[in-house]
Amino acid sequence: MDWQTFAQKALNGECLTLEEGLTVLETGNDEVLPLLHAAFIVRKHYYGKKVKLNMIINAKSGLCPEDCGYCSQSIVSTAPVKKYTLLDKDTLLAGAREAMARKAGTYCIVAAGKGPTDKELDQVVDAVREIRETMPLKICACLGILKDDQAGRLAEAGVHRYNHNLNTSKANYPSITTTHTYDQRVETVEEVKKHGMSPCSGVIIGMGETNQEIVEMAFALRELDADSIPINFLNAIPGTPLEHAGRTSSMKALKVLALFRFICPSKEIRAAGGREVNLRTLQPLSLYAVNSLFVGDYLTTAGQEISADHQMIEDLGFEIELNAL
């Protein structure tokens, strides 16, 4: 297969067809290196060899009324996770300082729940304003479904980006959660865009979706015009409904990342949650398709040592993009 024709289509602004997308996911493993080379042509065109780093703080944990099957913090999970209400301002500020120490350009404030209460929003807004005044960080918030006035307040406070993942395909959505809908997620991303915040929305691979649905997810995010696309790979946590789901093979994960680079060529594509346990020793190869990583721990699972991420980037001859959105 001449994968460079796919790269050229991406650079020309043309979208792959469904059949072409399936070809990427279903190609033999012997084709992965030439496939990644073609993806790198696109990645290098838009981002050179720079890597954006993001850091998450779990700002409110284990008290979520939603029934998302992948999440250890959901109401249906029996996983032993910490439970606490929204962190105070000093703790959120300390997290921002830690993000800077890790060379992250974007600090992600994430709170479990269907959506923020007014009191919680007040706390986040207060912290965001001080971070913006005292640190050269970009701020991403992930607080669930937003009302119009809440989105406006976050934007006014200085939140640069808002994350609300689609997570899976529209067809697969009811098998993952029943307490909110796929369309509600899309509506929140549109609300974010309306208020001038950069939209961040991604997926979780490995939740029973078909290859066709993976391609459809990429199409949906292209249509949504998400600026940042975190590609998570399910880390099946004991005590969650998806605890027995098998891991995505390392080679399949690389094919997924290449697919999203071809379909959303100019966007920030991030190897996100679960990269360590799914990509395993092939993590460095992911950077030929993606241009962004999370550094440190995730919400309730451990990430790779920060020094190992920095070393991986350096060994590849890539460069951390400081203060990058």
68 is in an annotated binding site: yes
Give the model's pLDDT for residue 30.
97
User: Measuring CA to CA, which residue among 266, 285, 215, 206 is closest to residue 25?
Assistant: 215
Q: What DSSP letter does each residue of 186-251 carry, written as one string?
A: HHHHHHHHHTTPEEE--EEE-SS--HHHHHHHHHHHHHHT-SEEEEEE----TTSTTTTPPPPPHH
140 is in an annotated binding site: yes
Tokens of 195: 């208020």
pLDDT (tens digit, 9 = 90+) per residue, 228-248? Answer: 999 999 998 999 999 999 999
Q: What is the mean pLDDT of residues 276-302?
A: 92
User: Measuring CA to CA, which residue among 303, 269, 275 is closest to residue 288?
Assistant: 269
pLDDT (tens digit, 9 = 90+) per residue, 39-74? Answer: 999 999 999 999 999 999 999 988 889 999 999 888
Local confidence band at 302 (pLDDT 50, 70, 90 cut-offs):
confident
Find residue 50's DSSP bridge partners. Answer: 319
Give the model's pLDDT for residue 301.
79
Q: Alpha-carbon distance 190 to 225, whole Å?
A: 10
pLDDT (tens digit, 9 = 90+) per residue, 2-15? Answer: 999 999 999 999 99
Give the model's pLDDT for residue 324.
64
Q: Alpha-carbon distance 219 to 159, whole Å?
A: 27
On the question of pLDDT at 291 being above 70, the answer is yes
Local confidence band at 304 (pLDDT 50, 70, 90 cut-offs):
confident
15 is in an annotated binding site: no
264 is in an annotated binding site: no
Quote the percentage of the chain above a pLDDT of 70. Answer: 99
pLDDT (tens digit, 9 = 90+) per residue, 132-189? Answer: 999 999 999 999 999 999 999 999 999 999 999 999 999 999 999 999 999 999 999 9
Q: What is the mean pLDDT of residues 204-208?
A: 97
Distance of CA 221 to the CA centre of its chain: 12
pLDDT (tens digit, 9 = 90+) per residue, 106-135? Answer: 999 999 889 999 999 999 999 999 999 999
Mean pLDDT computed over every residue of the chain: 95
